[in-house]
Amino acid sequence: MKAQIQKGFTLIELMIVVAIIGILAAIAIPAYQDYIARTQASEAASLLSALKSPVGEMWQNSGLEAALEWEGTAQDEIGNWQSVGTYVSSIQSTATAGQYVATFKSTGVNAQIGGLTIAMFYDTADNEFTWSCASISNSNVWPKACTAAPN
């Protein structure tokens, strides 16, 4: 009679594999959440960046700040622009000259950015744009435009 060889894994081997998967998941899930938040936050930077040319051009041509005001449409004194996005609820100019703020939606976005803002500043003296992501406490989720310290 031939001896029968057992095939399969022992309980200890399966438990080790499950433990390894658990450790990897504990590391990967927070990194993935940051990645999702950073991707969603980049929408605000993209929408604000689309305003750079019209804002700079208006200041250069007329010496006036481009106020972002509309009545139910994405039309204003600087032409067509997108005032909302998938994760951004609004983009508005503020009382501070040259400041444009994108506000994230409160629901349907990563909790790290929900309801917060990203601001873009236009410096008329040197014709440069700077960014502030100060309302977002985790700098790991800032868009690339906000890699410097917030203003």
* Mean pLDDT for the stretch of residues 64-81: 58
Strand duo 117-123 + 75-76: pairing: unpaired
**pLDDT exceeds 80 at position 42:** yes
Residues facing residue 88 across a β-bridge: 104
pTM of the model: 0.74
pLDDT (tens digit per residue) in 81-132:
677 889 999 888 887 778 889 999 999 999 899 999 999 998 888 888 888 8
Rg for the chain, CA atoms, rounded: 24
